[in-house]
Amino acid sequence: MMTEMVTAIDRKNERGMTLLAVMAIMTVFAVALLAVAPVVQQEVQREKELESIRRGEEVAEAIRQYVEFYRGAKLPSSMDDLLDGLPQGTKKRQILRASAAIDPLSEDGRWRLIKADVNTLGPFAKRVQDYNGGILPANTSATFDRYSLVIVNSLNTDSEEDLQAPDDSDTEVLTENTPFIGVASQDRSKSVITYYGIENHSKWVFTPLFRGEGRNNFVPGRGGRGGGRRPRQEQ
C-alpha cells in the first residue's frame, strides 16, 4: 500500500513538472512572437507600399497615354476615363488594369486625384529636383510642357521636414469628377520605404510629368529604404 501511494505521488509530481515545462515553452514562444511581430508587420506594410507604387506608376502611364492621345487638349476626369480605354478603330484599347485603379493604402481603395496646379504638384516637383541632384527631369513629351511650365517656374520651397512629416492638412480630397494629371494615396501615414526620398504616403505623387531621364537615370516603380527610385543599371 505504501509503495502504491509513493508511486501515485511521483506520477502527480511528474505531471506537475510536465505542465510547468509546457507552460515555460509556451511563454518562450509568446515572447518570441512578440519580438517578431513588429518585423512581420513592417514587412507586410513594405509590400503594400511597393504594390501602391507599382499601381501608381501604372496610373501615371495610363494618364500619359490618355493625354497624348488627345494631344494635351484633355485630361482624364475620373478613373473610369482611364479604365474605359482609348478609341482604336471600332474597339477600345485598354490602358489601365482594373487592379491598378485601386490604391492598396487607402481605406476605400480610391486614389486621390492630383490637379495640375502649383500648390499640389510644386512640393513634389521640388523633391524630384532635389533628389536628382538639383536637376528636374524634362517631360518625355512636349505635350506635357503646358502643364509643367508654371509649376517649374514656381517650385515650392518646403523644407525636408515638411516633406517627411505626416500630412494633417484639411485640404479637400478629390477622388472623382475633376481633371487630373496624377494620383496619390489618401493615406497620410509615414511610410516604411521611400519614393524620391519621401517618407509619407500622401506626398507620393504618381504623374507623367517630370519623367524624362535626369542625371540619375531613374527607373519607374522601384522603392527602397533611403532610396525612392534606383539608378538604372548599365546594359
pLDDT per 10-residue tile (average), the chain, 235 residues:
52 61 68 63 92 97 96 94 94 96 96 89 88 86 81 60 54 83 95 93 94 49 41 32
The residue whose grid cell reads 506594410 is 45
Q: Which of 224, 54, 227, 223 is nearest to 131 (CA)?
A: 227
DSSP assignment of 121-137, as one string? HHHHHHHHHHHTTT-PP
Instruction: For the full predicted model, state whether its pTM sits above 0.75.
Output: no
Ramachandran class of 226: left when φ > 0, alpha when ψ lies in -120 to 50, beta otherwise? left
- pLDDT at res. 48: 94
